[in-house]
Amino acid sequence: MALDLALALAALLVAAALRPWRAVAASGPPWPWFAWWAALPLMWGADRYAAMPIVQPLSGAALLVMLAGWPLAMPALAAAALVTMAVGGLDAVQALHRFVWLGAVPATLALAGGAAVRRWLPHHMFIYILGRGFFITMLAAAAAGALALGLTGAPVGTDPTDVLLARWLSASGEAFITGMLVAIFVAFRPHWLATYSDRLYLRPPA
């Protein structure tokens, strides 16, 4: 619990220091951001609703970061954890754990991975979609799941190897959903993605 609390406080304090409200327009984040945020408690509590510990919740944090940035995602993820606690019957320790390992950690890893893609790979629309939308989402979710398993152990009544495989499969599924939505947004509503710019990714050939 001490590790979870430290990571949660660090993420929220850094996000607050960055004043996330400055990164959004006067009208607020795009409505898909709100819709995706509203779906997070359903995804985060999947194992509770199904009453099966082996069922692995999806994170959803990477897409939230891509839509409106990391600083704004942090308080939103904390709010999603509170909603999950209320509707999923979690105690405060469990809700904190989900905020950290389904929210803050994969969101931060997705931010770092996205920065690496932007820094070292060509600035091309399909690099953005496949690199950030699919592969970085998959790696961030899988790495966060593996770290949580290694540091806090598997849920009671489950085998760590089975849980690790389940988390890898759920990360792949999340990457498919995120990559598909990012491709649609880039094609039809690129302004919904705070991390995308036509000027950067859709430059005419030299």
Average pLDDT on 185-199 reads 91
Residue ranges and CATH numbers for the domains of the chain are 2-201 (1.10.1760)
- Quick one: average pLDDT of 157-167? 88
Task: Give the pLDDT score at 19.
Answer: 85
pLDDT tens digits, residue range 49-106?
988 877 889 999 999 999 989 999 999 999 999 999 999 889 999 999 999 999 999 9
Residue type at 184? I
Place of tokens 């709100």: 34
Is the pLDDT at 205 greater than 70? The verdict is no
Q: Which residue has the higher pLDDT, 19 or 116?
A: 116
Using CB atoms within 10 Å of the CB of residue 7, give its burial: 0 to 12 exposed, 13 to 18 middle, 19+ buried.
Answer: middle
Place of tokens 């961030």: 140
Determine if the pTM surpasses 0.85. yes
